[in-house]
Amino acid sequence: MSAMPPETQRESGDQESPAYGRVARPGVDTTHGAILYLEDITVSFDGFRALNKLSLSIDVGELRCIIGPNGAGKTTMMDVITGKTRPDLGTAFFGQTIDLTRFTEAEIAHAGIGRKFQKPTVFEHHTVFENLELAMKTDKRVWPSLRARLDSAQLDRIAATLELIHLAAQSTRPAGLLSHGQKQWLEIGMLLMQEPQLLLLDEPVAGMTDEETERTAELCNKLAGQHSLVVVEHDMDFVNRIARKVTVLHEGSVLAEGNMETVQNDQRVVEVYLGR
Amino acid sequence: MTTAPLSNRLYGPRGWACIAVFAVILLVVFPVLNLVVTPDSPFHVSAYWITLLGKIMCYMMVALAMDLIWGYTGILSLGHGLFFALGGYSFGMYLMRQIGADGQYRVNMPDFMVFLDWKEFPWQWTGSEHFWWCALLVVLVPGLLAFVFGYFAFRSRVKGVYFSIITQALTYAAMLLFFRNNTGFGGNNGFTDFKRILDYPITTPQTRMVLFVITGTVLVAMLLLARVIVTSKLGRVLTAIRDAESRVMFSGYNPLWYKLFIWTLSAVLCGIAGALYVPQVGIINPSEMSPANSIEIAIWVAVGGRGTLIGALLGAAIVNGAKSWFTMAFPEYWLFFLGLLFIGVTLFMPDGVVGLLGKIRNRFNAQRAPAALEKAA
């Protein structure tokens, strides 16, 4: 580590200090403490209201779990945040200044929001290493890509991420040959390479074994504080293990919010979701 | 700790050796066998072969261009014949001007214009008497058309079969346009009867050999350019777009500019191939833009093996070699054979000839060293 250039040291210093080390990064102004702010978001598909006046605010460094029955609007909410779906009404802000409803997917990703899909999507024909290389935060225009060469700091970053997601031994294998759980990790690793300030994880433990779920929970707990995380998950054990604050969605809007205990004892939540 | 450093080498020693051998055959062996060895010697290579090989090398360039956009980026164009023809027409204009007053009517104007009773050159022909201007058009016309068309298609996220159909319609529309006499490019006869290129007579063995050598050199240059692209990070982004475009977008890349870059480059390469094709074959007409021609290009690449540069080259050479033989031996069966070939490749060799060779090699290695394989498994 001591041989690293100063630039890298600052980077790794960032990762150890919780949350506020990242606030000053140019681009996202989080002076009021919120990294993501949704207000009265409404999305309709052919008359069906997937989101109905949804309001939600995520603090810097927070780990928020979102739960809710099928069709509650969890994935649509992710789509709105990442620019895949445009809301009919409402405002969505990343930090104080970035209006998410006005940018494309690539611009939003570049601004610092990383998203893991429900179904793991990695580049199956590329090696694990190349997957991380492609995701890495760097100049992503055409010409710089043609001339890009990895420097030693970047190689170290990829190596560190490989360790973190337990895939160091697999780095030269094509990603398509990984197990389902490993692909989920690789996708999380790709998000981390983007150095996002906000991570959206859509069902990160779907299809994982108990042991893999355990390790993913560890990983999430490790990431909380360094990044802001929004986790959508059905697996209540997993949510229990990582949850600090939980938001329950139902029919496109927020039904309840609070710590796990409060939510679990909320009568309406029990009716629509937990009780069944 | 360094993990799996990416190879930045273009080719290994064997790859370079192959290219060197090819270059020697091209630059030394063929010129000697054609020009120095006398026709009565069994080693003499006739002008027929030089023209045929030159033509096939032009097709190999087109296959290379097709592979970049289809094999690597996953965008199937069924209109690449259009870019080829546009390059050919652009350069053909210059060749027509070089005929000078040696045409049938002994007037300093292409025959078809005299026939149509035109008194002056239409605006499209402005500057076409200059070699450099037409050489520029060879790059600019296909490039600009591809850029504008690609910008709107990719910006609207037109993909897959819809994109293929639109490119097919584009080349068909262009063909109908070029069939019209009023378009000013010789209608259904196109351009032919060339006499000179840069004031050298075009039919002498020496001129033909120069064209042949230039074609081969350009082919090698294009191969290296394509190799630089596909081994760079840019190339990895392109294959990533092919495999999971949404992940590419959410990783912060804008696929529009990547697609547009490779699409435009591919069109330009086709244009250059067309420009080299016309003086060697001696004719260009609107049938080059027919949809069947463009589909055939896709077949070359599929036969050779998508997503490998060498596969595209092999595919174009094999199919066109077979075509020349077939159209002499059994002219009426060629299209049936082509159809069979395509079906056969799709069903039994999804990775083309290159994939098949790889499989054979694997099996061969497995037989020779079963113990090593068991260990690896």
Q: In A, which residues are within 8 Å of B253 by CB distance?
A: 106, 140
B366 found inside a domain: no
pLDDT at A2 over 80: no
Interface A-B, measured as beta-carbon pairs within 8 A, has a size of 102
At B68-86, the pLDDT tens digits run 999 999 999 999 999 999 9
Residue B4 pLDDT: 45
Contact residues on chain B for A125, CB-CB shorter than 8 A:
239, 243
B17 pLDDT band, cuts 50/70/90, is very high
Which tokens go with B128? 């076409």
Report yes or no: B250 at the A interface, CB cutoff 8 Å. yes
**The pLDDT value given to residue B264:** 98
Q: Is the confidence at residue A274, as pLDDT, over 80?
A: no
Of A130, A159, A190, the CB nearest to B236: A130
Query: Among candidates A134, A125, A122, which has minimal Cα distance to A158?
Result: A134
A251 Cα to chain B: minimum distance (Å): 27
Residue B238 predicted with pLDDT over 80? yes
Q: What share of chain A in percent tops pLDDT 70? A: 87
Are the Cβ atoms of A155 and B2 closer than 8 angstroms? yes
Q: For chain B, what percent of residues have pLDDT higher than 70?
A: 95
> In chain A, what are the domain boundaries?
63-80+104-274
ipTM: 0.86
First to last CA, chain A: 52
User: In chain A, what residues touch B261 (CB-CB under 8 Å)?
Assistant: 142
Count other C-beta atoms under 10 Å from residue B88's C-beta.
31
**Could you report how far apart the first and last alpha carbons of chain B are, in Å?**
27
Lowest mean pLDDT of A28-42, A56-70, A191-205, name the range.
A28-42
Residue A140: closest C-alpha in chain B: B253
| pLDDT value at residue A233 | 87
**B244 inside domain:** yes
- pLDDT of B367 reads 77
Q: Do B254 and A106 touch (CB under 8 A)?
A: yes
Please name the residue that has the structure tokens 């009404």: A89
Q: Which residues contact A71 (CB under 8 A, 6 or more apart)?
A: A251
Fold of A63-80+104-274: Rossmann fold (3.40.50)
pLDDT for A9 equals 38
DSSP string, A82-134: TTSS--SEEEEEETTTEEGGGS-HHHHHHHTEEEE-SS----TTSBHHHHHHH
A179 touches B: beta carbon within 8 Å: no
Distance from the Cα of B263 to chain A's closest Cα (Å) equals 13
Phi, psi (deg, nearest 5) at residue B63: -65, -40
Does residue B358 form part of some domain? Answer: no
- Looking at per-residue pLDDT, the higher value among B296 and A2 belongs to B296
CA distance A156 to chain B (A): 7
pLDDT for residue A18 is more than 50: no
Q: Is A62 within 8 Å of A245 (Cβ atoms)?
A: yes
Subunit contact B258:A190, Cβ cutoff 8 A: no
Mean model confidence pLDDT for chain A: 84
Q: What pLDDT is recorded for position B8?
A: 61
Site from B250, B254, B256, B261 to mutate, A interface, most A CB atoms within 10 angstroms: B250
> Which residues lie closer than 8 Å to B2 by C-beta, 6 or more apart?
A152, A155, A159
Tell how strand A198-202 and strand A228-232 pair up.
parallel
- The DSSP element (H or E) to which B283 belongs, if any, is strand B283-284
Q: Please give the residue that has the higher pLDDT: either B359 or B145.
A: B145
CB A232 within 8 A of CB A75: yes
CA B377 to each of CA A182, B157, B355: distance values in angstroms, whole numbers, following the listed order: 20, 43, 21
Whole-number pLDDT of residue A263: 85
Q: Comparing C-alpha atoms, which of A166, A169, A163, A172 is closest to residue A184?
A: A166
Distance between A146 CA and the closest CA of chain B, angstroms: 5
Would you state the pLDDT for residue B194?
94
DSSP run (H or E) holding B201: strand B200-201
Contact at CB, B253 and A147, closer than 8 angstroms: no
Tell me which residues of chain B, numbers 210 to 229, contact chain A at a CB-CB cutoff of 8 Å: 228-229
Dihedrals φ, ψ of B175, to 5°?
-60, -45
CA–CA gap between residue A112 and residue A58 (Å, rounded): 14
Note whether B181 and B187 are within 8 A (CB).
yes
Are A106 and B253 inside 8 Å of each other by CB? yes
Q: Where are the alpha helices (DSSP H) in chain B?
A: 13-24, 30-31, 47-66, 80-99, 111-115, 131-155, 160-179, 205-231, 233-243, 245-250, 255-281, 291-304, 309-329, 334-348, 352-368, 370-376
Across the interface, which of B228, B236, B250 has its CB nearest the CB of A126?
A: B236
Q: Give A210 to chain B, closest Cα distance, Å.
A: 27
Q: Is residue B347 part of a domain?
A: no
State pLDDT tens for residues A60-90.
888 999 988 888 888 899 999 999 999 999 9
Q: Tens digit of pLDDT for each residue in A87-117?
A: 999 999 998 888 998 888 888 988 889 998 8
- DSSP label of B107: S
Question: Residue range B292-304: average pLDDT?
Answer: 94
Q: Does A24 touch chain B (CB under 8 A)?
A: no
pLDDT value at residue B374: 55
Q: Does B232 touch chain A (CB under 8 A)?
A: yes
**A138-165 pLDDT per residue, tens:** 889 999 999 888 899 999 999 999 999 9
Closest residue in B to A187 (Cα) is: B247
Find the closest chain A residue to B249 by CA distance: A106
Number of domains in chain B: 1
Q: Does A129 touch chain B (CB under 8 A)?
A: yes
Instruction: Please name the residues in contact with B256: beta carbons below 8 A apart, sequence gap of 6 or more.
Output: B151, B154, B155
User: And the tokens for B203?
Assistant: 């039919």
Q: Cβ contacts of residue B254 below 8 Å, gap of 6+?
A: A104, A106, A107, A140
Both tokens assigned to B24: 């020697």
- Residue B218: pLDDT above 60? yes
Determine how many CB atoms are found less than 10 A away from the CB of residue A201: 27
Any domain includes B79:
yes
pLDDT at position A208:
85
| pLDDT bracket for residue A21 (50, 70, 90) | very low
A171/B4 CB distance under 8 A: yes
Instruction: Give domain status of residue B361, yes or no.
Output: no
- Check CB contact under 8 Å for B6 and A145: no
Longest dimension (CA), chain A: 60
> Tens of pLDDT along B143-169?
999 999 999 999 999 999 999 999 999
**CA nearest to A15, candidates A149, A155, A181, A193:** A193
Question: E strands, chain A, where?
Answer: 34-45, 48-59, 63-67, 89-94, 98-99, 113-116, 198-202, 228-232, 245-250, 253-258
Residues in chain A with CB shorter than 8 Å from the CB of B3 are 129, 155, 158-159, 162, 168, 171-172
Residue B108 within any structural domain of the chain = yes
- How much is the CA Rg of chain B, to the nearest whole Å? 22
Q: What is the pLDDT of residue B110?
A: 92
Its domain, for residue B104, covers 46-291
| Torsion sign (Cα): A77, A81, A83, A89 | positive
Q: Is A164 on the interface with B (CB under 8 A)?
A: no
Burial of B187 (0-12, 13-18, 19+ CB in 10 A): middle
| Window from B179-183, B226-230, B347-351 with minimum mean pLDDT | B347-351
Measured between alpha carbons, how far is B235 from B230 in angstroms, rounded to an integer?
A: 4
Residue written as token pair 């078809």: B112
Position B174 in a domain: yes
